[in-house]
């Protein structure tokens, strides 16, 4: 029977099929942990006197709470410090490998897994974090779970799940100059909505996707959850294999050959059918930014703020009105006229080496506009080191940006990097929810290229605007 | 987990769509390492506004939240469910739930009752015209009732069964331990482990 990529990976992990309403029991190949969603799960194990079944398929890092300056000092926020110290105690007690602050392999959990070569095609990967969908870029079935499920995986290395439906996101044609993976995914979310992917695994397909690097594919899959889909996948190909080969945990020798042979079977069969299909013409895409308070409220940078009164659907109209009030914006304003206070380059969406290179290219020899602060936060210490080896830190520092240590940073208001009430950011992160970057903060989601150009001009801008 | 059959309590109309988990509980409240005491973080940003529905009598004592579509989107934080339950909510009614939120609810015994949007609108009207109207949520016949309104809701059969019985997922899975071990015996040997690598 012909099957989609997602169905193949699912079937390869079924420990037992459920009967009737009972879900399938799915084996989990890799469990990623961080300090925020794990403490109550470890506690649950202790209370029930259960063991961690497979410490050797589990790895932890510190990312959400960590400061990105003065990391050699204890975390000043006592509650954050307690959470990080709790992770350290739990990992020591249960024998879990942990990369703590300051370690060369520390970083955002979704940057760390792939760069270590732990994320491989055809695997099942989970983490108590919704952006686990990132790992789907390798053809893995990867999704975020809640803390009860974290505990369940710890105790059993499995999860009871009902199969997802499948949706093909076909993106064809060549991307224009200055148009990136971030613009693709923002356009997808604007098209299908924040609930459009609910219950589905998205498979990104088409020549525009095949042409993307692994970093760019991770950006696309990362934001699948913002369309409501727990997972997004891309079939592995030579780009994938080239990225994995030689990484610390990649197979080698005969194992490599056997793995690649299997990975090459991980493609949707030609005659397989999806439960839903969406088509995007990549040639029509332009730099995309959000104007509202959910990631579906986005438009091309060349557009104006929409007028809620012209939105027919009542729920969407009310949502747009509330969003504009919160964002302090007026209908009809050109997006290019929106002035920002802060530019954030980083996160599990756009904190990889290629993102830093792209932004550095734009900002090189220029300067951040007066009154604007720009934070550049590598997704991991390895990315930071690589960027420094390439001299990117100097480019950003010379432009007047801040060069930080690795972490989730300003993607979410959990560590010292936050917006003040009323402050406005152009951010390469993934969520523009109310208060996401700090209470009262206002977020516009953008690509690294738009972030860099915006930092220079002080208003939402594309690199092409710098030439005028 | 406590078993759930029916619940009757004050219904709270929340006329908002896309209530994401950052609104339900902002990240700053996620720093705790305990499993209780999250009620202060519930809708923290909105509760600063005296006009917010949970600051009004009799909605303060609400236990059935009736919200717009796409409730619980965004972050996977189970703290959102804990915050709702710690505050006193037992049921959330919406026409569409985010997948992870729905799953988390089922694990904790919070009923995520999916009604049609037209029934949600009717519930809003009842609850707004007569504040304090008790709402009864019956998991056995899958209905939400308020005054004369009887709205059917959907919930998947397995979650419903677990909620009705109050069963622990992990204990259920561990009954299949031999099958898990058998599966592990057949995994590809080249699959990665997280065991530390020897220093090069």
Tokens of A432: 């523009």
Q: Where are the alpha helices (DSSP H) in A224-300?
A: 238-244, 253-263
User: Is residue A37 a contact partner of residue B78, using CB atoms and an 8 Å limit?
Assistant: yes
pLDDT, one tens digit per residue, over B33-53 is 999 999 999 999 999 999 999
Residue A158 lies in a domain: yes
Q: Which helix (H) or strand (E) holds A90?
A: helix A78-94
Rg of the Cα atoms in chain A: 21
**Can you read off the two tokens belonging to residue A366?**
């220029």
pLDDT at A65 over 80: yes
Which residue among A245, A263, A281 closes a domain?
Answer: A263
Closest to A427 measured CA to CA, from A377, A370, A360: A377
CB pairs under 8 A between A and B: 207
CB contact under 8 A, B26 and A439: yes
pLDDT digits (tens, 9 = 90+) for A112-158: 999 999 999 999 999 999 999 999 999 999 999 999 999 999 999 99
Residue given tokens 């961690």 in the structure block: A52
Asked if A151 lies within 8 A of B98 by C-beta distance, the reply is no
Predicted confidence (pLDDT) at residue A468 exceeds the cutoff of 90: no
Average model confidence (pLDDT) across chain B? 96
Give yes or no for a cis peptide into B58 (omega within 30° of 0).
yes
Q: Positive or negative CA dihedral for A320, A421, B25, A62?
A: positive
pLDDT-above-90 percentage for chain A: 98
- Percent of chain B residues past pLDDT 90, beyond the cut: 95
Clarify whether residues A337 and A247 are in a common domain: no
Question: Taking all residues of chain A, what is their mean pLDDT, rounded to a whole number?
Answer: 97
Reported pTM: 0.96
Looking at domain B6-185, its CATH class is alpha beta
Among all residues of chain A, which has the CA nearest to that of B82?
A147
Distance from CA of A187 to the nearest CA of B (A): 18
A40 and A186 together in one domain: yes
CA–CA distance, A322 with B18 (Å, rounded to integer): 11
Domain end position, chosen among A221, A246, A263: A263
A23-57 confidence digits (pLDDT tens) = 999 999 999 999 999 999 999 999 999 999 999 99
Q: State the pLDDT confidence band at A251, using cuts at 50, 70 and 90.
A: very high
State yes or no: pLDDT of B197 exceeds 90.
no
pLDDT of residue A21: 87
Q: Quick one: residue B192, left, alpha or beta (phi over 0 = left, psi -120 to 50 = alpha)?
A: beta
Contact B75 A130 (CB under 8 A): yes
- Note whether B16 contacts A322, CB cutoff 8 Å: yes
Q: Which residue of A has its CA nearest to B109?
A: A148
Percent of chain A with pLDDT over 70: 100
The CATH number that applies at residue A310 is 3.30.499.10
Token pair listed for A85: 């110290």
Q: Are residues A36 and A81 in the same domain?
A: yes
Q: Which of B113, B186, B20 is nearest to A323 (CA)?
A: B20
Q: List the one residue out of A405, A437, A407 whose CA is nearest residue A422.
A: A437
Q: How confident is the model at residue A266 (pLDDT cuts 50, 70, 90)?
A: very high
Cα distance between residue A448 and residue A362, in whole Å: 9
Which of A:87-146 have CB within 8 Å of B?
Answer: 97, 117-118, 120, 123, 128-130, 144-146
Q: Does A314 have pLDDT greater than 90?
A: no
Quick one: A21 and A103 in the same domain?
yes
Q: Does any domain span residue A418?
A: yes
Residue carrying the six token digits 């004592």: B61
Residue A367 is encoded by which pair of tokens? 């300067």
Beta bridge partners of A465: none
Cβ atoms of A445 and B34 within 8 Å: the answer is no
User: Across the interface, do B100 and A156 touch by the CB < 8 Å criterion?
Assistant: no
* pLDDT over threshold 80, residue B198: no
> Residues B11, B129: contact at Cβ < 8 Å?
no
Q: Would A270 be classed as within a structural domain?
A: no
Residues in chain A closer than 8 A to B107 (CB atoms): 146, 148-149
A269 within domain boundaries: no
How far is Cα of residue A170 from the mean position of the Cα atoms in its chain? 20
Do A241 and A144 touch, CB atoms closer than 8 A? no
Same domain, A75 and A187: yes
CA distance A16 to A167: 25
Rounded to whole angstroms, how far apart are CA atoms A418 and A291? 19
Cβ-based contacts of A25 with chain B (< 8 Å): 173, 176, 179-180
Work out whether strand A288-290 and strand A298-300 pair parallel, antiparallel, or are unpaired: antiparallel
H helices of B48-116, in order, are: 79-87, 99-108
Interatomic CA distance for residues B149 and A152, integer angstroms: 39
Residue A195 has pLDDT above 80, yes or no: yes
* Residues in chain A, overall count: 468
Give yes or no for a contact between B180 and A17, defined as CB atoms under 8 angstroms apart. Answer: no
> What confidence score (pLDDT) does residue A155 get?
98
Residue A251, SS3 per DSSP? coil
Burial class (CB in 10 A: 0-12, 13-18, 19+), B175: exposed
Last residue of a domain, one of A244, A263, A282: A263
- Domain of residue A450 covers 292-467
Residues A90, A219, single domain; the answer is yes
Are A251 and A311 in a shared domain? no
Per-residue pLDDT at B200: 58
Cross-chain CB nearest to A146 (options B100, B196, B197): B100
Look-up: residue for tokens 């056997």? A258
Same domain, A38 and A112: yes
The single residue listed with the structure tokens 């860099």 is: A452
User: Residue A296 falls within a domain, yes or no?
Assistant: yes
Nearest to A345 by CA among A370, A385, A379, A389: A379
* Token digits of residue A210: 């095949």
Per-residue DSSP letters for A99-134?
E-TT-TT-B-HHHHHHHTT---TT-EEEESSGGGGG
Burial classification of residue A238, based on how many CB atoms lie within 10 Å of its CB (0-12 exposed, 13-18 middle, 19 or more buried): exposed
Q: Facing residues of A280 across strands? A: A171
Q: Does A275 fall in a domain?
A: no
Same domain, A248 and A334: no
For residue A453, with 0-12 CB atoms within 10 Å meaning exposed, 13-18 middle and 19 or more buried, which class applies?
buried
Count of the separate structural domains present in chain A:
2
């Amino acid at each position: 029977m012909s099957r989609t990529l997602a169905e193949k990976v699912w079937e390869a992990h079924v420990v037992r099929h459920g009967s009737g309403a009972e879900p399938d029991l799915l084996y989990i190949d890799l469990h990623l942990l961080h300090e925020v969603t794990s403490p109550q799960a470890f506690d649950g194990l202790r209370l029930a006197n259960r063991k961690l079944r497979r410490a050797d398929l589990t790895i932890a890092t510190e990312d959400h709470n960590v400061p990105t300056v003065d990391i050699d000092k204890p975390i000043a926020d006592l509650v954050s410090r307690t959470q990080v110290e709790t992770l350290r105690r739990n990992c020591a007690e249960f024998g879990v490998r942990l990369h703590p602050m300051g370690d060369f392999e520390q970083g955002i959990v979704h940057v760390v897994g792939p760069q270590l070569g732990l994320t491989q095609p055809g695997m099942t990967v989970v983490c108590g974090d919704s952006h686990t969908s990132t790992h789907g870029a390798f053809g893995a079935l990867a999704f975020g779970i809640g803390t009860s499920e974290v505990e369940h995986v710890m105790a059993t290395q499995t999860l009871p799940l009902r199969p997802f439906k499948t949706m093909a996101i076909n993106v064809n044609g060549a991307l224009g100059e200055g148009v990136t993976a971030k613009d693709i995914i923002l356009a997808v979310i604007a098209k299908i909505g924040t609930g459009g992917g609910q219950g589905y695994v998205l498979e990104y397909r088409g020549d525009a996707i095949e042409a993307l690097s692994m970093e760019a594919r991770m950006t696309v899959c990362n934001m699948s959850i913002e369309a409501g889909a727990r997972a997004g996948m891309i079939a592995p190909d030579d780009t994938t294999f080239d990225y994995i080969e030689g990484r610390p945990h990649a197979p080698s020798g005969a194992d490599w050959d056997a793995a690649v042979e299997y990975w090459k079977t991980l493609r949707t069969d030609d005659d397989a059918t999806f439960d839903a299909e969406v088509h995007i013409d990549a040639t029509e895409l332009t730099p995309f930014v959000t104007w509202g308070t959910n990631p579906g409220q986005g438009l091309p940078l060349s557009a104006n703020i929409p007028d809620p009164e012209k939105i027919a659907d009542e729920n969407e109209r009310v949502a747009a009105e509330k969003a504009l009030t919160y964002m302090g914006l007026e209908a009809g304003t050109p997006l290019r006229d929106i002035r920002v206070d802060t530019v954030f380059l980083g996160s599990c969406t756009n904190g990889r080496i290629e993102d830093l290179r792209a932004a550095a290219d734009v900002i090189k020899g220029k300067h951040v506009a007066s009154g604007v602060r720009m934070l550049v936060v590598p997704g991991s210490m390895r990315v930071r080191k690589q960027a420094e080896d390439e001299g990117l830190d100097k480019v950003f520092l010379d432009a007047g940006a801040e060069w930080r240590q690795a972490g989730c940073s300003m993607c979410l208001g959990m560590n010292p990097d936050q917006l003040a009430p009323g402050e406005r950011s152009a951010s390469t992160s993934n969520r523009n929810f109310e208060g996401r970057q700090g209470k009262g903060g206002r977020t516009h989601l953008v690509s690294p290229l738009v972030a860099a150009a915006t930092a220079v001009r002080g208003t939402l801008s594309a690199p092409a605007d710098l030439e005028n | 987990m406590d078993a759930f059959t029916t619940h009757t309590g004050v219904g709270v109309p929340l006329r908002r769509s896309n209530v994401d988990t950052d609104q339900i509980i902002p990240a700053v409240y996620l720093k705790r390492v305990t499993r209780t005491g999250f009620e202060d973080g519930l809708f923290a940003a909105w509760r600063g506004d005296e006009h917010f529905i949970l600051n009004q009598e009799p909605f303060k004592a609400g236990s059935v939240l009736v919200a717009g579509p796409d409730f619980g989107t965004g972050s996977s934080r189970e703290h959102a469910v804990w915050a709702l339950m710690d505050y006193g909510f037992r049921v959330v009614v919406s026409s569409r739930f985010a997948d992870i939120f729905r799953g988390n609810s089922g694990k904790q015994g919070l009923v995520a009752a999916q009604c049609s949007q037209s029934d949600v609108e009717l519930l809003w009207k009842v609850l707004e015209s007569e504040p304090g109207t008790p709402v009864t949520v019956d998991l056995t016949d899958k209905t939400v009732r308020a005054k004369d309104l009887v709205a059917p809701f959907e919930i998947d059969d397995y979650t419903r069964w677990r909620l009705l019985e109050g069963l622990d997922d992990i204990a259920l899975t561990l009954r299949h331990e031999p099958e898990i071990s058998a599966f592990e015996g057949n995994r590809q040997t080249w699959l990665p482990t997280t065991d530390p690598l020897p220093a090069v």
